[in-house]
């Protein structure tokens, strides 16, 4: 009985591995024949996660800007895209550069990166390294309602919140 269960588990693991490998192969082929937008839509239909789509795009040699554009067009949130790219070990500077090139506003970039758990300091550093001006970064952080907002950038006091009161300082 134990041998039968072990055999069934091995067959299931092997077949799921083949299905996953096939999906990635299909992604690269679809990019080559039908285009990136179709490949991303097809991947979504296969219930691929944003991380799986990013990884498949990397394996297929897809430009980050184009991948971001296709994922946004397919309805994937910029927060999910940023989270997937960070999980795929793509630098925040490369993410910011690709998002700017894809036409995503700096405010939306800040919001997505903050929602993905990237600190305000890291966001500012990545945006600066990507060549975005200090004035534009300041405006984007303020408009996005980053937890540190304008007061952090202008050297003022931290904002009031339930966890931070003026008496804390």
In tens, the pLDDT along 96-106 reads: 999 999 999 99
- Other beta carbons within 10 Å of 6: 10
Residue 167: is its pLDDT beyond 60?
no
Instruction: Find the range with the poorest average confidence among 79-88, 136-145, 151-160.
Output: 151-160
pTM, to two decimals: 0.73
Alpha carbon separation from 51 to 34, 128, 150 (Å, rounded): 21, 26, 32
User: Quick one: pLDDT at residue 22?
Assistant: 59
Angle between helices 106-115 and 120-129 (to 10 degrees): 140
Task: Name the pLDDT band for 15 (thresholds 50, 70, 90).
Answer: very low
Written as six digits, the tokens of 46 are: 């296969």
User: Quick one: pLDDT at residue 8?
Assistant: 55
- Other beta carbons within 10 Å of 11: 10
| 49 compared with 12, residue with greater pLDDT | 49
């Amino acid at each position: 009985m134990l041998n039968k269960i072990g055999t069934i588990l091995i067959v299931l693991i092997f077949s799921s591995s083949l299905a996953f490998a096939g999906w990635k192969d299909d992604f690269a082929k679809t990019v080559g024949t039908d285009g990136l937008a179709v490949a991303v839509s097809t991947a979504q239909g296969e219930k691929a996660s944003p991380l799986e789509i990013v990884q498949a795009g990397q394996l297929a040699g897809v430009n980050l800007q184009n991948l971001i554009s296709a994922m946004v067009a397919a309805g994937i949130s910029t927060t999910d895209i940023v989270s997937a790219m960070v999980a795929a070990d793509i630098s925040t500077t490369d993410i910011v550069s690709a998002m700017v090139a894809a036409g995503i506003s700096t405010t939306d970039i800040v919001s997505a990166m903050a929602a993905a758990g990237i600190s305000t300091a890291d966001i500012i550093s990545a945006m600066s390294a990507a060549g975005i001006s200090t004035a534009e970064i300041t405006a984007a952080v303020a408009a996005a309602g980053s937890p540190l907002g304008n007061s952090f950038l202008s050297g003022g006091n931290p904002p009031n919140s339930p966890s931070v009161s003026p008496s804390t300082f």
